[in-house]
Amino acid sequence: MAEYDAVVVGSGPNGLTAACVLASAGLSVLVVEAAPDLGGGLRSAELTLPGFTHDVCAAVHTLGCLSPVFHALDLETHGLRWVYPDASVAHPLEGAEAVIAYPDIERTVAQLAQDGGAYRGMLEPLLRAGEGLMGDVLSPLRFPRHPVAMARLGFYGFRSVEALANGRFHGARARALLAGCAAHSVLPLDRYLTAGVSLVFLLAAHMRPWPVAEGGSRSIANALCEAARSEGVSFETNVRIERFDQLPSARAVLFDLAPRQVATIAADQLPARYLRALTRYRMGPGVFKVDWALDGEIPWSARECRLASTVHVGGTIDEVARSENDAFEGRRSDRPFVLVAQQSHFDATRAPSGRHTGYGYCHVPAGFDGDMTDAIEAQVERFAPGFRDRILARHVRGPAQWERYNPSYVGGAITGGVADLKGFVARPALRLDPYSTPNRRLYMCSHSTPPGGGVHGMCGLHAARSALRRVFGLGLGGLGKRLAQPHDCQIGLVSRRS
């Protein structure tokens, strides 16, 4: 007899969510994790100086705060508190200017001059369908529940962001705002679907200002672990699975891992053709990240940048496009597009009084072994003169260190694989049910399955649902009812630092 009904390998947000879903259906579940602590991309640590809490990986929870499954698991009752900034994202431009995505769409429109009407005309109808549309976006490919809104999103979003921004807008502000949001795709900005990524991030920005988690992103992992423990899930840490026979016996195994890892671990459990697809799966560029302990806020020339949890540092759409293209084509960018997060502006637990944490990363070629510290800091200094003088200490991590830190970050890639057209329909391989494998007992639940990268747990939900149905003949039970309930997008703001 099997020791467990299900074993989940890897404790990232998707693995933990899958464990919660399986256990809430009454199954016995074990999570095995290679690292000494749980949480995958949801860890926080004092990387620089005592008293400074840095998010090691994910920092800003654009999709997490809108995730239907996080809502259904009621993570707030397990101690999670989202902290909402005044604005989601700021994008500084030359001349002490910036364009800001405020939750209030009219306030955003007001900055866009001649492009305001076109922005409103594009975003407002999507926003009206916001919650339902987001549910469709965060699902595997299927007939949408909100076909009209999805068709509208598809109409604007299928094309490249360069085509959308340069075709519909005339000013540098709107174009830069769209480009910065599209760069989260880690794709060159002339690729199909990059406009869609940009629109999803902007839609989210107008639903709830992109939050951080009080106490650090580890609070999300803690809440997921609490939810899992309350359903009876067991955990084993410091167990790195490299061969299938290391796993305890179970009726189902769910891998919260990169496809290539699964191809190695389950080489004798899967047919050659599927193994080939997993081995050839493209992970895309890596990241180079710097965390700073700062003796004060980042001194943005455009003061309003301090209102946002995220600052897109890279200048005009053409500059952002050049940088993203460089990373994708295997070149180092001299002027990288940098994603900056400023959690301590909103969450006083992150740094000693009067001091701040800073977080910035850029995309680099897969496996890049150079140092981007100077280039990243020069970009921030360009829009915030005096920034370097505020650095008390820094912590740096490039692709090789990322892969050592988490073997799922193959080549330093952090979002589960290339999200272009091919990666959209064959994630990780072309199958009607992308979470299943040709072996009925084995499932993929990581961000290398739909809907892809980011902290939202939805890959874990869909994979667990697939395993429940195929192996155990079960549905989601009570959790299914909670998932169907509307999920109010206005929730109380917790106390802010400034």
Chain residues that interact with ligand FAD, rule: CB under 6 A: 9-15, 32-35, 40-41, 57-61, 63-64, 240-241, 256-257, 261, 287, 289, 361, 406-408, 414-416, 446-447, 453-455
Closest by CA to 63, choosing from 276, 211, 224, is 211
Instruction: Tell me the one-letter amino acid at 201.
Output: F
Residue nearer to ligand FAD on the CB measure, 122 or 327: 327
The minimum distance between CB 44 and ligand FAD, in angstroms, equals 12
Q: Report the residue count for the chain.
A: 498
Residue 148 CB, nearest approach to ligand FAD (Å): 28
For ligand FAD, the closer CB: 216 or 453 = 453
Q: CB nearer to ligand FAD: give 172 or 250.
A: 250
Rounded least distance, CB 41 to ligand FAD, Å: 2
Pick the closer one to ligand FAD by CB: 111 or 217: 217
Q: How far is the CB of 270 from ligand FAD (least distance, A)?
A: 16
Which is nearer to ligand FAD, 15 or 450 (by Cβ)?
Answer: 15
Q: At what angle do helices 147-157 and 116-128 cross, to 10 degrees?
A: 150
With tokens 């149905």, the residue in question is: 469
Taking the least distance from each CB to ligand FAD, the nearer of 111 and 343 is 343
CB of 224 to ligand FAD, least distance (A): 10
Distance of CA 313 to the CA centre of its chain: 18
Give 58-108 as a DSSP string: ----TTGGG-HHHHHTTGGGGT--EE--SEEEEEEETTTEEEEE-SSHHHH
Tokens representing 15 are: 């693995």
Cα–Cα distance for residue pair 195/245, rounded to 1 Å? 44
Give every CB contact of residue 212 below 8 A, 6+ residues apart in sequence.
55, 59, 60, 61, 82, 83, 85, 309, 341, 343, 346, 347
Question: Smaller CB distance to ligand FAD: residue 209 or 416?
Answer: 416
Q: What is the CA 402 to chain-centroid distance, rounded?
A: 16
| Least Cβ distance, residue 492 to ligand FAD (angstroms) | 22
Work out how close the CB of 94 gets to ligand FAD at its nearest, in angstroms, rounded to a whole number: 26
Q: How many Å separate Cα 224 from the centre of its chain?
A: 16
148 Cβ partners below 8 Å, 6+ apart? 129
Please answer whether residues 293 and 49 qualify as being in contact, where contact means their C-beta atoms are separated by less than 8 angstroms: yes
* CB of 175 vs ligand FAD, minimal distance in Å: 23
Query: Residue 287 or residue 429: which is nearer to ligand FAD going by CB?
Result: 287
**Token pair recorded at residue 453:** 């990268």
Dihedral of alpha carbons 441, 67, 88, 54, sign = negative
